Amino acid sequence: MSLLQFLRILWAWRRLVAAAALGALAGGVLVCLVAPPRWEAHARVMLNTLKPDPITGAVIAGPAERGYIATQTELITDYTVAERTAEKLGWTTDRTLMEKYRHRSKRDARDFQHWLAQRLIDRTKAKVLEGSNILEISYGGPSSDEARRVADALRKSYIEVSLDFHRDDAARDAQWYETEAQKAKVALDAAQKAETDFERANGVLMADEKTDLDTARLRALSAQGMAGPATAAAPTASQSAIQLAQLDAQIAEAERTLGPNHPELQQLRAQRAAVAKLAAQDAAAARAVMAGTGGAAALESALAAQKARVIAQGDKLKTLSQLQSDVDLRRDQYQKASAKAAELRQAATEADVGLTPLAAAVTPQSPKFPNKLLIIPGAFVLGLGVGVLAALLLELMARRIRGHEDLESAIDAPLLAMVPGPPEPPVKAGPRWRAWLARRMNNGWAAQS
């Protein structure tokens, strides 16, 4: 189809095309005059994803950051945020909204709170501004003031809900760790009691967390023997005496905080009794050496006796070392669980959730809908396009000969001549271009037909 054929078709259906364009234009104007305006307000929040948590020191980065941002965007349009926002705005007691709720569709079985929340959700949008960590909350309302108030309330409710979720999660985790700490404490008490019972039953005792008292005493005697008589004659405190002093300090501290029948206090007292016995033996040996009675021979005899004691109690000392390792493990579990529970309890009272509200919500100077500069020209162009499309479809359904090009395509034969039609009636006075266009469009029709 040539351009001239296309123009002839449009001219033939000009009234239809004009009616469609003018009708769409009238509809666009009517929408701009009748449709209620919708104002859109924007409130912004900065997501502090790169800021470490003040309690745990955790940082959100990488794939976790994308998931976090998507979660926050969806949370804004969640029922929890919408319900709290409706309460803040006083919509739950608004008589106008109650009346609208009563006149809702009979198929709508939602309660009033969910109906209000959905009303907010339908008009709320959230997105992260490209290339930034700024989350923008948008709300469309019938007036600029209402849109601004609702946007501010949405942002405030969103921050409060996020903080509540953070605190609830921390409190729940803290409760779990406290339970685990209690279990670890029970296991620690049981391990300490087993160690104490074994020490009482076998007469062996741990000098510290790694070495039993007999081995420590053997090492001390060996050190005195290697130092020689001159050093042995010097007054030095034995390992058992140092251990006894440490136990006395621990018992004094425990008596201020624990009850008289507490397992830890009883264990410390049992250890003190055993250490005191060994300290007395060490003191007697030291006095003998200082007095010169026996001298090196007495020290050598004591060292040999202590070696024999350590060798004879090898199995017992190995079992005691295993019991001490179990105590150390249970103590480490208890300390870690207690520390984590305390950390989470502190996080449960934290007021910073990594969201920083920016300036108050703002609205543009004109409503977002209806946009007259977009709707009126757009409606005219749309109507014109619909009219042209309808004209072409109608022409294809009932094709007519409107020029020699149509005739040539219809009979598939060369055109030899064109015979002028009958004389045209006189054209009424008017613009010359209208008469010329009429002659041009009707030229040769009579001959072709």
Average pLDDT over residues 409-424: 67
Please give the structure tokens belonging to residue 60: 């959100």
CB atoms within 10 A of CB 86: 23
Average pLDDT over residues 214-231: 56
* DSSP reduced 3-state for 121: helix
- What does the pLDDT look like over 61-100, one tens digit per residue? 667 778 888 889 999 999 999 999 999 999 999 999 999 9
Cβ neighbours for 204, distance < 8 A, ≥ 6 positions apart = 198, 212, 213, 214, 313, 316, 317, 320
**Which residues sit opposite 212 in a β-bridge?**
206
- What does the pLDDT look like over 236-273, one tens digit per residue? 455 666 677 777 777 877 777 777 777 777 777 777 77
Give the Å distances, CA to CA, from 172 to 186, 341, 343, 360: 22, 10, 12, 34
Stronger pLDDT, 92 or 53, i.e. the higher one = 92
Average pLDDT over residues 319-347: 88
62 in Cβ contact with 413 (< 8 Å):
no
Give the Å distances, CA to CA, from 35 to 38, 297, 369, 375: 9, 115, 8, 12
Q: What pTM was estimated for this model as a whole?
A: 0.62
Helix 3-12 to helix 432-441 angle (10° resolution) is 110
pLDDT mean across residues, the chain = 79
Which pLDDT value is given to residue 20? 93
Q: For residues 50 and 65, what is the distance between their CA atoms, to the nearest angstrom?
A: 9
In this prediction, residue 293 has a pLDDT band, given cuts at 50, 70 and 90, of: very low
> Phi first, then psi: what are they for 44, rounded to 5°?
-120, 150
Write down the domain spans for the chain: 3-32+370-448, 36-176+349-357, 205-312
**Quick check: 233 pLDDT over 50?**
no
Q: For residues 52 and 56, what is the distance between their CA atoms, to the nearest angstrom?
A: 8
**Quick check: 214 pLDDT over 70?**
no
Q: For residues 49 and 72, what is the distance between their CA atoms, to the nearest angstrom?
A: 12
Which pLDDT value is given to residue 379? 93
